[in-house]
Structure formats: C-alpha cells, structure tokens
C-alpha cells in the first residue's frame, strides 16, 4: 500500500499570522515539520499543500514536493481533501504545519495500525493529560472514547464531567484516500460550528474515528507563547 503524508499550510492564522514561516535555528516551522515527516520510514511520499505564493517559494527553497490548491479552503481537512484527489495513495496522513515537534515514531505507529486493520477509515492519536491546567484550557482538545477505542466526542471543554482521567487529542490524522476525497460532500453540523472542531463533522455523519493512546507529546504553535516554548526545546 502507498502511504502519503500531506502537510496543509497557509499564512492567515488568526492568533499567530504567518507562523509557518517563523524561523527557529535557521529553518522555518514548516521546514522543521517537513523534515520530521520525511524521516518516517513507512511514508512513501510527503507533500506540502498550499495556495500561498510565499509558502510555495519557501517549499521550493528546501526542495519539498508541492501540491498547489485552491484559495477557497477554510480548514486544513478541506485542503487535504483536494490535495489527496491529485495523488495516488491508499492512506493519507494529515500532519499539521505548526507541529515542529511531531515524532516520526508516532507517525510510524499510526501507519502500522492503519495498514494492519483495513476496517479503520480514520485514525488519530490521543494522550492522557498529566498537567491539570490543560483540562480547562480551551486550546487543548479533550476526547472521550468507547471500549473499542472509537471516539465518542471531542470538546474544548473538560469531558467527562467530574472525571478523574482525561485524554487530549494530538492533531494528526490517518485517512483512507477514498474517504477523505469525499470530505467536501459531508454535511456540516452545529456541533462543529460551536466547538470549532472539524473532526465533529465525521462523527455527525456517522463515521467512526479510531483513537490510539500514545505517550508521545507534541505542541501546536497556535500562539507566540507556543512558538517561544517550541523554540526553547529545539534550541
């Protein structure tokens, strides 16, 4: 089976504009992400998907494979869907362009699970929350799941209510290509709009999201404070 990773990238982030072009140790965040994903042994091809000319120039500067997409996308998943339709692959891994600490070993494990179980259409990692501050942090997405590790719900609020154990979502997805290229045809839901979480569209439309419990940590660069934290780690 062919496995491709697609990194959707854009410049107009609300809380930290142009963050993917911010530099750490002489490389942009985008290049750090690309190089981490490129070193993953089970991924055959890695692409960066974007509509922004500045990002395209940056991608060409470090000789990465590029997929030019339309400029109408409002989410990374939508951009992934268009990009996936332009390549041949059985499994598509969506890696966020703002996660320069993403671990190749985590991507390897996710790919292995996806290749071993053909029933899984969507797979994503979760991690037990160890810092109690994250439970009430709306930037940390919480998830609850059933006994078979199928996600029941994702929320920015603390779920389950009154719980003693909480899990957070690590923002990487594995998709079957046949599923993700039809993403645009899925109906939006009020849950997605209220929570600002696009994965709730999958659940609303009756699809299962299998979760994988991991100890790997990753930090999304959503704010300048996140950037400073990642910068300290990488330096």
Q: What is the pLDDT along the chain (235 residues), one digit of tens a residue?
A: 899 999 999 998 888 999 999 999 999 999 999 999 999 999 999 999 999 999 999 999 999 999 999 999 988 999 999 999 999 999 999 999 999 999 999 999 999 999 999 999 999 999 999 999 999 999 899 999 999 999 999 999 999 999 999 999 999 999 999 999 999 899 999 999 999 999 999 999 999 999 999 999 888 898 899 999 999 999 8
Q: Give the phi and the psi of residue 34 in degrees, each rounded to 5.
A: -55, -45
Superfamily of domain 3-234, CATH level 4: Spore Coat Polysaccharide Biosynthesis Protein SpsA; Chain A (3.90.550.10)
Half-sphere exposure of 37 (CA within 13 A, CB side): 31
The per-residue pLDDT for 229 is: 93
Q: Give the phi and the psi of residue 119 in degrees, each rounded to 5.
A: -80, -20
Q: CA 91, CA 188: separation in Å to the nearest integer? A: 24
Domain residue spans of the chain? 3-234
Q: CA 34, CA 47: separation in Å to the nearest integer? A: 8
Instruction: For tokens 């490129």, name the residue.
Output: 38
Q: What is the CA radius of gyration of the chain?
A: 17
Contact 2, 91 (CB under 8 A): yes
Instruction: With H, G, I as helix, E, B as strand and everything else as coil, classify residue 40.
Output: coil
Which residues neighbour 198 within 8 Å (Cβ) at sequence distance 6 or greater? 75, 76, 77, 192
Q: CA 35, CA 171: separation in Å to the nearest integer? A: 18
């Amino acid at each position: 089976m062919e496995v491709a990773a697609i990194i959707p990238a854009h410049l107009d982030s609300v809380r930290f504009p142009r963050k993917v072009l911010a530099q750490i140790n002489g490389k942009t965040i985008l290049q750090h992400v690309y190089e981490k994903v490129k070193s993953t042994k089970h991924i055959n091809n890695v692409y960066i998907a974007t509509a922004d000319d500045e990002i395209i120039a940056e991608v060409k500067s470090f000789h990465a494979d590029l997929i030019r997409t339309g400029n109408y996308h409002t989410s990374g998943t939508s951009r992934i869907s268009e990009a996936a339709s332009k390549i041949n692959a059985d499994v598509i891994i969506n890696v966020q362009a703002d996660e320069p600490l993403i671990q190749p070993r985590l991507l390897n494990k996710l790919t292995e699970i996806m290749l071993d179980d053909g029933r899984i259409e969507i797979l994503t990692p979760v991690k037990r929350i160890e810092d109690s501050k994250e439970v009430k942090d709306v930037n940390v997405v919480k998830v609850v799941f059933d006994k078979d590790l199928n996600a029941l719900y994702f929320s920015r609020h603390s779920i389950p209510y009154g719980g003693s154990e909480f899990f957070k979502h690590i923002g990487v997805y594995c998709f079957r290509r046949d599923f993700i290229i039809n993403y645009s045809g899925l109906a939006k839901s009020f849950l997605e709009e209220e929570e600002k979480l696009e994965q709730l569209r999958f659940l609303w439309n009756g699809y299962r999201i299998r979760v994988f419990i991991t100890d790997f940590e990753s930090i999304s660069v959503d704010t300048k404070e996140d950037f400073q934290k990642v910068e300290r780690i990488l330096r």
